[in-house]
């Protein structure tokens, strides 16, 4: 063979070798990536080739699958009370993908999870179609209904937790949407999707997990705990030294006033919680210091994302200067919290200082009910000492007992109810209607079965009618009553 022919042969050999390497790279290295790629339509078609498994609440499915006439997609997703459950389930759409539990547990619901290999193999041998597994949640249908109906047509969110385990009992966000309106692939589904995306009220925003608000006076619970933990006060019934009005530190006599006159000067922490004295809690926050306040806030879960298993945005207690830190101590300035976060605060106080990791999936099961994953409750942080938690409980229970606007008549004398209202300023110079907050818990002889956070972002009422006690507290009370009724049934 002459020299030019050898060069051609060598070059062709290199090309063949490169082709073999590329084919093997695609088949073995990139196979999983290509199989699951969002532009691989075969994956999407396979996802809806069989009925999806269900998301279960109180033993009953809140989702389903129905057969279609589509040439590609044999089934599409359905929901029971879709608007109420959308903040929990998210959506599963042939055209627009999946979110929330439908996304996080997609491989279980489709039956493609590796842990379902044995179950799928048996189905294949017996000639059955592949079936999806089920997601068993911790949610309470009665608590969710109380939260959803309580919010009504108002913009806001509710989160209820079991402080003993961290189990999420209710997670509601309004306005909401019906995931079934765009579950398919047709023109009507696209129209529904576009309408939701253009809605200025943001019905697809999960306000319980993905929106942060200034927590207002509900954060005073954290500030009281910080003052006790850092030795600034020993007893919630000891008088403080803060004047009314309180002059913000490092300012040219900028006063911080109180809503209730003549009761906040040198008030005890118990009375300051009862009358929501800005002067006392701003002073406490300043004296604890920014570093100490951050430490306590982070012990309650601030400044970190939480996965329940859906991701929840991080609440923020930031590094800041002295006047801003004082204002953050009353839940204003750059202090921001999700409703989940404030439910965690109430839960930790109710659970004697132990903050359990929040979660809303109890277990994952195969179609024949074999458990393939079981959640094991775990402590996230020991937020505060048991003594600090007990003293803060006393102040929160005084708030409920002494506030004539909070109706606790649904509960017997053997149930302790603690709470804290909040009306958080909003907009530049408080120019917009404030947010109405309420956090609370119930304690029985067997511990605390429920803690709740409620925020009303927009109630559609006059400014002077907006208050945590008037708007948010009744919802929290109804949710807690629903949980207690379930516990006793």
235-288 pLDDT per residue, tens = 999 999 999 999 999 998 899 999 999 999 999 999 999 999 999 999 999 999
What are the Cα distances from residue 179, in Å, to 76, 196, 347? 11, 11, 31
Q: Which residue among 217, 440, 448, 467 is the active-site one?
A: 217
Rounded to whole angstroms, the Cα distance separating 280 from 296 reads: 18
Q: Are 65 and 51 in contact (CB under 8 A)?
A: yes
Question: For 142-172, how does the pLDDT look when each residue is reduced to its tens digit (9 = 90+)?
Answer: 999 999 999 999 999 999 999 999 999 999 9
Q: Are 161 and 347 in contact (CB under 8 A)?
A: yes
Q: Are 349 and 392 in contact (CB under 8 A)?
A: yes
In this predicted structure, what is the pLDDT of residue 347? 98
In this predicted structure, what is the pLDDT of residue 252? 85
Q: Of 341-350, 398-407, 463-472, which one has max mean pLDDT?
A: 341-350
11 domain-assigned: no
Rounded to whole angstroms, the Cα distance separating 9 from 2 reads: 11
In this predicted structure, what is the pLDDT of residue 41? 65
Is 385 one of the annotated active-site residues of the chain?
Answer: no
In this predicted structure, what is the pLDDT of residue 215? 97
- Establish whether the linkage from the previous residue to 309 is cis, with ω within 30° of 0: yes
In the chain, the number of structural domains is 1
Which token pair is 319?
């590094």
Rounded to whole angstroms, the Cα distance separating 358 from 366 reads: 24
SS (H, E, C) the chain: CCHHHHHHHHHHHHHHHHHHHHHHHHHHHCHHHHHCCCCCHHHHHHHCCCCCCCEEECCEECEEEEECCCCCCCEEEEECCHHHHHHHHCCEECCCEECHHHHHCHHHHHCCCHHHHHHHHHHHHHCCCCCCCEEEECCCHHHHHHHHHHHCCCEEEEEEECCCCCEEEEEEEECCCCHHHHCCCCHHHHHHHHHHHCCCCCCCCCHHHHCCECCHHHHHHHHHHHHHHCCCCCCCCCECCCCCCEECCCCCCCEECCCCCCCCCCCEHHHHHHHCCHHHHHHHHHHHCHHHHHHHHHHCCCCCCEECCCEECCCECCCCCHHHHHHHCCCCCCCEECHHHHHHHHHHHHCCCEEECCECEEEEECCCCCEEEECCCCEEEECCCHHHHHHHHHHHHHHHHHCCCCCCCCCCCCCEEEEEEEEEEECHHHCEEEEEEEEEEEEECCEEEEEEEEEEEECCCCHHHCCHHHHHHHHHHHHHHHHHHHHHC
Question: For 337-379, how does the pLDDT look when each residue is reduced to its tens digit (9 = 90+)?
Answer: 999 999 999 999 999 999 999 999 999 999 888 999 999 999 9
Beta-strand relationship, 447-458 and 155-161: antiparallel
The residues that bridge with 291 in the sheet, in sequence order, are none
Question: For 201-232, how does the pLDDT look when each residue is reduced to its tens digit (9 = 90+)?
Answer: 999 999 999 999 999 999 999 999 999 999 99
Rounded to whole angstroms, the Cα distance separating 450 from 440 reads: 9
Assign residue 245 the CATH number of its domain: 3.40.710.10
256 domain-assigned: yes
Share of the chain above pLDDT 90, in %: 75
Domain interval for residue 283: 214-366+377-488
Instruction: Tell me what the mean pLDDT of segment 30-51 comes to.
Output: 68
Q: Is the pLDDT of residue 478 over 70?
A: yes
Which token pair is 340?
């989940």
130 Cβ partners below 8 Å, 6+ apart? 49, 50, 111, 120, 123, 124
Q: Is the pLDDT of residue 102 over 90?
A: yes
Rounded to whole angstroms, the Cα distance separating 484 from 475 reads: 14
Instruction: Tell me what the mean pLDDT of segment 9-29 comes to.
Output: 75
442 domain-assigned: yes
390 domain-assigned: yes
Q: Who wins on pLDDT, 30 or 206?
A: 206
127 domain-assigned: no
By mean pLDDT, which of 209-223, 421-435, 470-484 is the weakest? Answer: 421-435
If pLDDT is split at 50, 70 and 90, which confidence band does 482 have? very high
Which token pair is 53?
């498994």
Q: Is the pLDDT of residue 308 over 90?
A: yes
In this predicted structure, what is the pLDDT of residue 126? 72
Question: For 387-396, how does the pLDDT look when each residue is reduced to its tens digit (9 = 90+)?
Answer: 999 999 999 9
The residues that bridge with 311 in the sheet, in sequence order, are 307
403 domain-assigned: yes
In this predicted structure, what is the pLDDT of residue 18? 77
Question: For 325-336, how does the pLDDT look when each residue is reduced to its tens digit (9 = 90+)?
Answer: 999 999 999 999
What are the Cα distances from residue 11, in Å, to 3, 19, 22, 24, 359? 12, 12, 16, 20, 60
Phi, psi of 354 (to 5 degrees): -90, 120
Instruction: Tell me what the mean pLDDT of segment 32-47 comes to.
Output: 65
426 domain-assigned: yes
pTM value surpassing 0.85: yes
In this predicted structure, what is the pLDDT of residue 364? 97
- With 0-12 / 13-18 / 19 or more C-beta atoms within 10 angstroms meaning exposed / middle / buried, residue 130 is middle
Phi-psi region of 353 (alpha: psi -120 to 50; beta: other; left: phi over 0): left
Share of the chain above pLDDT 70, in %: 92
62 domain-assigned: no
Rounded to whole angstroms, the Cα distance separating 447 from 386 reads: 13
Q: What is the mean pLDDT of the chain?
A: 91
């Amino acid at each position: 063979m002459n020299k030019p022919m050898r060069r051609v042969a060598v070059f062709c050999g290199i090309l063949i070798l490169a082709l073999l390497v590329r084919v093997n790279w695609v088949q073995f290295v990139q196979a999983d990536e290509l199989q699951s790629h969002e532009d691989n339509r075969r994956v999407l078609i396979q996802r809806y080739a069989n009925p999806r498994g269900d998301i279960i609440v109180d033993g009953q499915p809140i989702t389903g699958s129905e057969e279609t006439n589509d040439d590609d997609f044999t089934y599409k997703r359905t929901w029971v009370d879709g608007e109420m459950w959308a903040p929990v389930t998210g959506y599963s759409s042939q055209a627009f993908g999946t979110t929330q539990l439908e996304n996080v547990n997609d491989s279980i619901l489709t039956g493609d999870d590796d842990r379902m290999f044995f179950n799928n193999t048996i189905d294949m041998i017996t000639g059955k179609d592949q079936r999806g597994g089920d997601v068993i949640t911790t949610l309470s249908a009665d608590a969710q209904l109380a939260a959803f109906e309580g919010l009504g047509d108002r913009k806001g969110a509710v989160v209820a937790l079991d402080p003993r385990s961290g189990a999420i009992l209710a997670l509601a966000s309004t306005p909401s949407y019906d995931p079934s309106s765009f579950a398919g692939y047709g023109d009507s589904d696209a129209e529904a999707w576009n309408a939701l995306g253009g809605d200025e009220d943001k019905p697809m925003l999960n306000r319980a997990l993905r929106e942060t608000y200034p927590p207002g006076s509900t954060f005073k619970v954290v500030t009281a705990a910080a003052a006790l933990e850092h030795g600034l006060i020993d007893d919630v019934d000891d008088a403080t030294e803060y004047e009314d009005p309180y002059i913000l530190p490092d300012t040219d006599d900028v006063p911080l006033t109180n809503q209730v006159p003549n009761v906040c000067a040198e008030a005890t922490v118990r009375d300051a919680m009862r009358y929501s004295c800005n002067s006392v809690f701003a002073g406490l926050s300043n004296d604890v210091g920014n570093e100490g306040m951050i430490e306590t806030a982070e012990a309650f879960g601030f400044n970190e994302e939480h996965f329940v298993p859906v991701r929840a945005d991080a609440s923020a207690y930031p590094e800041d200067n002295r006047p801003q830190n004082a204002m953050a101590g009353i839940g204003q300035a750059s202090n921001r919290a999700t409703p989940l976060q404030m439910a965690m605060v109430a839960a930790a106080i109710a659970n004697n200082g132990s903050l359990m990791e929040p979660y809303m999936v109890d277990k994952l099961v195969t179609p024949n009910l074999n458990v393939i994953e079981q959640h094991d409750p775990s402590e996230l942080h020991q937020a505060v000492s048991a003594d600090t938690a007990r003293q803060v409980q006393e102040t929160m229970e005084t708030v409920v007992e002494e506030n004539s606007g909070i109706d606790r008549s649904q509960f017997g004398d053997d149930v302790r109810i603690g709470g804290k209202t909040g009306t958080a300023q909003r907009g530049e110079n408080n120019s917009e209607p404030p947010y109405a907050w309420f956090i609370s818990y119930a304690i029985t002889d067997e511990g605390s079965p429920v803690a709740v956070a409620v925020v009303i972002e927009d109630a559609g009422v006059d400014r002077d009618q907006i208050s945590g006690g008037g708007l948010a507290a009744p919802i929290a009370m109804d949710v807690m009553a629903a949980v207690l009724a379930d516990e006793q049934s």
